[in-house]
Amino acid sequence: MRVLVTGSSGQVGREIELALLNDLHEVVLAPHENLDITNFERVRSAVFDTHVQAIINAAAYTNVEKAEDDYIDAYAVNALGAGNLAKAAFEARVPLVHISTDYVFSKATGRAHLEDEKTFVQSAYGKTKLAGEELVISSGCSYAILRTSWIFGPFGHNFVKTMLRVAQDKDLLKVVCDQKGSPTPASEIAKACVVMAKALVEKPELNLEGIYHFAGTPYTTWDEFARVILAKAFELNLLDHEVSVQSILSEEYPSKVERPLDSRLDCTKIYEVFGLKMPYWEDYLEQTLKAG
């Protein structure tokens, strides 16, 4: 299988490249500097000129804070860019796997969110990602949308690396305690994308198109996630002292973004359709910490 990977220099994109190569697929890399997905003609050329059999879109505007003041640019990448890839996929008759986010859910329901429940978005970032989903769905292309959350891995910036960095000269960190979700290893997201793309290419008769949730287990909160990270870093001698975590409420954390209080994702569907299990996120901390 020959696959175009957009956003290939990012945290998930680099893992997708490795996952494809490990599974003996051909990879056409399209980092932002080589392909501006907000330009449809360039996207169309990239798809048709490379004769790919599938597209995996890992390109995204991910600065949640900045998106509040930079909505136009965030919308261009997260919505229009996704739509351009979907239109090109439709014309080329190739499937698209598109990565989305837990930020499409802002209301707590008392349980993990299902794929078909009503979305409710408050942040600019979440609104642009939801708009991207809608454009992919309406394009007519064969697609799989993968919603995920709290991504971390050895490449790029993420919460795990941030905790390790800021803890080097501190004995106490204040971390939000009232937001629930699922840390998810980027490497497992990448493997899931490859499995889905391969199924869409090889088994079109199964009508696998749709939205899927994929996240790590167990569900947790940011402060508990931080405690596990810091304990692991100390165990690995990446910290020379123990660091305590003080739990604070979201309203005590300085931010212009209203983040989801409960973005837990129910991942039953992706297991039933593709056999993909929720990865145990703590197993992936060591590799990320050592890369930090």
| Structure token pair of residue 201 | 């290419």
Whole-number Å distance between alpha carbons of 239 and 6: 36
Candidates 75, 103, 125, 284; catalytic one: 125
Active site annotation includes 125: yes
Q: Could you tell me if 292 and 164 are in contact, meaning their C-beta atoms sit under 8 angstroms apart? A: yes
Q: What is the 3-state secondary structure (H, E, C) of 86-149?
A: HHHHHHHCCCEEEEEEHHHECCCCCCCECCCCCCECCCHHHHHHHHHHHHHHHCCCCEEEEEEC
C-alpha–C-alpha distance, residues 203 and 290, integer Å = 39
Question: What is the end-to-end Cα distance of the chain in Å, rounded?
Answer: 33
Q: Hey, which residues are catalytic here?
A: 125
